[in-house]
């Protein structure tokens, strides 16, 4: 099996990106990260990429005169890198439909809750965990799903539960969920690397 050639998109600190790199180092994930793309020049993920010798690019719609120019730069960076698969790791922007169309069934995202609950607009970062706690949920978790044109809506690839404990704050819960994210994301990517992902009738399965 050929290694999965990844483009990772991240807007923030990039702990999931770091977990992907660690899984590659530890030979739990047969992949290379060929480019890290961020919309935010201050993203910690860019620093991690540079420190690791991974090509790091800031591509922000704010830096272009037109949407078309932004999308063509994004696709150019991806094409030049040779990445054949995209992993969103805390990417706060919507992936342009043109890019989704170029990578059909080959873009995945990780979400810190059990979708379709606690997903969609406004459900990111601490907002997710606050909503879970406010609702009195006893379990939450992690979802890895395929990305299509809608927020948090593509076929679910894998989910893992995380308990909500009495006295949890958004921070303590986020920390527990994040640990699970760091193990689940590389596992799902490895399933793609091994060709174990099937989609039938809009439903995704890992064999
Ligand atoms: C994670 O909780 C991920 O599920 C969500 O954004 C967060 C990114 O965290 N999509 P990090 O930048 O990977 O540390």
pLDDT under 50 in the chain at which residues? none
42-83 confidence digits (pLDDT tens): 999 999 999 999 999 999 999 999 999 999 999 999 999 999
Question: Which residue, 143, 148, 85, is CA-closest to 110?
Answer: 143
Residue 42: its pLDDT value, please?
98
Between the CA of 25 and the centroid of ligand 1 the distance, in Å, is: 20
Between the CA of 89 and the centroid of ligand 1 the distance, in Å, is: 6
Angle of the 44-51 helix axis to the 15-25 helix axis, nearest 10: 20
Burial of 19 (0-12, 13-18, 19+ CB in 10 A): buried
- Among 22, 48, 89, 120, name the best residue to mutate to test ligand 1's pocket (greatest count of ligand atoms within 8 A of Cβ): 89
Residue nearest ligand 1's atom 10 by CA: 90
Three-state DSSP at 75 gives: helix
* Separation CA 161–CA 117 (nearest Å): 13
Report all structural domains of the chain as residue ranges with CATH numbers, in order of start. Answer: 4-206 (3.40.50.170)
Residue 149: its pLDDT value, please?
79
Between the CA of 202 and the centroid of ligand 1 the distance, in Å, is: 26
Residue 151: its pLDDT value, please?
67
Token pair listed for 32: 């290379």
Residue 144: its pLDDT value, please?
98
- The 10 Å CB-count burial string (b at 16+, else e) for 137-157 is beebbbbbbbbeeebbebbbb
Residue 71: its pLDDT value, please?
98
Give the nearest ligand 1 atom to 45 CA: 12
* Separation CA 142–CA 148 (nearest Å): 18
Give the nearest ligand 1 atom to 18 CA: 13
Residue 105: its pLDDT value, please?
94
């Amino acid at each position: 099996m050929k290694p999965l050639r990844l483009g990772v998109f991240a807007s923030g600190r990039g702990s999931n990106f770091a977990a992907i790199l660690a899984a590659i180092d530890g030979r739990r994930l047969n992949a290379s990260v060929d480019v890290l793309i961020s919309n935010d020049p201050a993203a910690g993920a860019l620093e991690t990429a540079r420190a690791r010798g991974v090509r790091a690019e800031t591509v922000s719609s704010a830096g272009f005169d037109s949407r078309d120019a932004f999308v063509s730069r994004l696709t150019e960076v991806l094409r030049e890198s040779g990445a054949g698969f995209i992993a969103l790791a805390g990417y706060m922007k919507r992936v342009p439909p043109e890019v989704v169309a170029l990578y059909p069934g080959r873009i995945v995202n990780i979400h810190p809750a059990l979708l379709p609950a606690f997903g969609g607009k406004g459900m990111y970062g601490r907002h997710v965990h606050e909503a879970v706690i406010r609702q009195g949920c006893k379990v939450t978790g992690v979802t890895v799903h395929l990305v299509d044109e809608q927020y948090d809506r593509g076929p679910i690839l894998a989910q893992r539960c995380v308990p909500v404990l009495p006295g949890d704050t958004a921070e303590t819960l986020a920390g527990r969920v994040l640990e699970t994210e760091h193990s689940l994301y590389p596992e799902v990517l490895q399933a793609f690397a091994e060709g174990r992902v099937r989609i039938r009738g809009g439903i995704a399965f890992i064999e």
